[in-house]
A = this chain, B = another copy of it.
């Protein structure tokens, strides 16, 4: 139930419309809390009902475009929520189930998924490294920037770890049985 707070965070960084939010999610906060535009529109409606954000019809823009911005009550709510604690989200990864299935079945073709996943993780890693170079390198960082960088580093570490798992598994599968 963190989507509303992810939206408040993003809108605090910059007020914008629902579709703009959806686009920004695709390359920022959405890396660790993905959301479709359908979800975002519905949630923005709730946030407005709750009095946490306000919308104004965008001028000079096409159609029914609405710009949302965070109200003081929304900022208070985000601050309150940020101060609460939760358990880590449960891990749920089909690849690990496949590896266990391969263990019990004998050779069953899990290498295909491993290669697919390895390619995805390497691609994501490359994307995160681009962002690292572009936004966080070669200068002194503010407190806020260092926090944002830490979040990116978490993504880097996660992708690297998953890629390493795929590599180790592929190596294991191609190795001969020990004597």
Secondary structure class of chain A's binding surface, majority of residues: helix
B101 and A82: CB pair below 8 A? yes
B162 and A100: CB pair below 8 A? no
Q: A5-B97, A33-B93 are in contact. Are A148 and B113 (CB under 8 A)?
A: no
Q: How many copies does the complex hold?
A: 2
Q: How large is the interface on A (under 10, 10 to 19, 20 to 34, 35 or more residues)?
A: 35 or more
B143 and A169: CB pair below 8 A? no
List the one stretch of A46-54, A61-69, A151-159 in contact with chain B.
A151-159
Q: Chain B nearest CB: distance from A149 CB in Å?
A: 9
A121 and B88: CB pair below 8 A? yes
Q: Chain B nearest CB: distance from A6 CB in Å?
A: 5
List the one stretch of A16-24, A37-45, A102-110, A130-138 in contact with chain B.
A102-110
- 24 pairs of residues in contact across A and B, judged by CB atoms under 8 Å: A5-B94, A5-B97, A8-B101, A29-B100, A32-B97, A34-B92, A75-B105, A82-B102, A82-B108, A82-B109, A84-B112, A85-B112, A86-B94, A86-B95, A88-B117, A91-B158, A99-B150, A103-B143, A103-B148, A104-B144, A154-B161, A157-B164, A157-B165, A158-B158
